[in-house]
Amino acid sequence: MSAPTTDVIAIGNAIVDVMSPCEDALIEKLGMTRGGMTLIDTDQAHALYEAMGPAREISGGSAANTLAGLAALGAKCAFIGQVADDQLGEVFAHDIRAGGISFATPARAGDPPTARCLIFVTPDGQRTMNTFLGASQFLPAAQLDEAAIADAAVLYLEGYLWDPEEPRAAMRRAIAAARGAGRKVAFTLSDAFVIARHGDDFRALIDAGEIDILFANHVELAALTGLDDFDAGLAALSPKVPTLVVTRSEQGAVAVSGGLRSEVPAEPVAKVIDTTGAGDLFAAGFLFGHVRGRSDAESLRMGAIAAAEIISHYGARPEADLQALMVQKLG
């Protein structure tokens, strides 16, 4: 087995975020779940866009955001995800490549268009997401570059993409390719609704030892374990994965590796502008520390710093110089 030349290869939704500030009343009026992620169809996408104020477009997608953070920190990354052959697809592809990330999945011709996520951001910075998956859900398993997967130290998978059938098959093949090459598999549970639909799959993968690093937030931990108590959930899940990382919003985050628990408080933020991508960038910081051989405690701190940067501005792609920020904060 030769040494990997890529740090992290990820499979995720290839999405452009369409973001607009809004008052809390609009969230209620539109019947949306504050802070949640809802899948929407074409008609709903049109209706919600109609109800949305002037917006800005910034590339997103959970795993893609994580890679953008990793690449900004200096990691060598590659992304696998499906855009359509349209303008938003060009925007997504440009932004990911301009971030220094290798991206070779060919654009898909015809309908549906490139995925977009309509994000309503309330004055407290909370984001409420409505995702039109479009082309993203048609990532074909046959297209997977297994050599590229075998050549990365970590394969990172986004739970959101477990929902549609084709990408799920692709991710199963990717896991096999990574494990066959002796690489690590990292997985983020993404959202409680994914666990509600695919929790059995996730539990089976975990029980089979297919996941080396598992990312969750406290709500997802409870959903996966069926245990409302945080420590009970942690105690139940952590023996099943080599590294478990659980974020708890303003309460910081916890990692457990081989029974050893590390903890970090949330990094202070002057003003929370937009929480979109907080978990994604936490994962970026943690994974960067992890692939560079840092301790869990140090990696958690890097996650907290990257997450604090992302919630202090609009959009889920880093704006500040993350490397400089780490030097400044960590010395």
Q: Name the site residues for a second copy (rule: CB under 8 A).
A: 20-21, 49, 52-59, 68, 86-88, 91, 94-96, 98-99, 113, 315, 317, 319
State which residue, 98 or 104, has the beta carbon closest to a second copy.
Answer: 98
Q: Tokens representing 77? A: 């990354």
Return d(Cα 268, Cα 264) in angstroms, integer.
12
CB of 267 to a second copy, least distance (A): 22
CB of 91 to a second copy, least distance (A): 6
CB 287, min distance to a second copy, A: 19
Q: Which residue lies nearer to a second copy by CB, 10 or 237?
A: 10
Q: Provide the minimum distance between the beta carbon of 286 and a second copy in the complex, in angstroms, as a whole number.
A: 22
Nearer Cβ to a second copy, position 70 or 155? 70
Angle at Cα 67 formed by Cα 53 and Cα 139, nearest 5°? 80
CB of residue 98 to a second copy, shortest distance in Å = 5
Identify the CA nearest to 101 among candidates 66, 56, 135: 66
Shortest Å distance, C-beta 99 to a second copy:
5
Q: Could you give the CA distance from residue 152 to residue 177 in angstroms, rounded to a whole number?
A: 11
Distance separating alpha carbons of residues 213 and 231, to the nearest angstrom: 18
Residue 207 or 321 with smaller CB distance to a second copy = 321
**In angstroms, rounded to a whole number, what is the distance separating the alpha carbons of residues 219 and 270?**
25
CB of 87 to a second copy, least distance (A): 4
In the complex with a second copy, which residue's Cβ is closer, 116 or 184?
A: 116
Query: Helices (H) and strands (E) in the chain — how many of each?
Result: 12, 14
The least CB distance from residue 308 to a second copy, in Å, is 19
Residue number with CB closer to a second copy (95 or 158): 95
- DSSP SS3 for 18: strand
**At which residue do the structure tokens 């539109």 appear?**
30
Specify whether the backbone of 110 is left (phi greater than 0), alpha (psi in -120 to 50) or beta. left
Nearer to a second copy, 131 or 243 (CB): 131
What stretches of 79-145 show up as alpha helix (H) in DSSP?
87-98
User: What interhelical angle do 278-291 and 62-73 show, nearest 10?
Assistant: 50
Going by their DSSP bridges, the two strands 102-103 and 77-80 should be labelled as parallel
Distance CA 314, CA 245 (A): 25
CA-CA distance, 314 to 276, in Å (whole number)? 8
For a second copy, which is the closer residue by CB, 107 or 232? 107
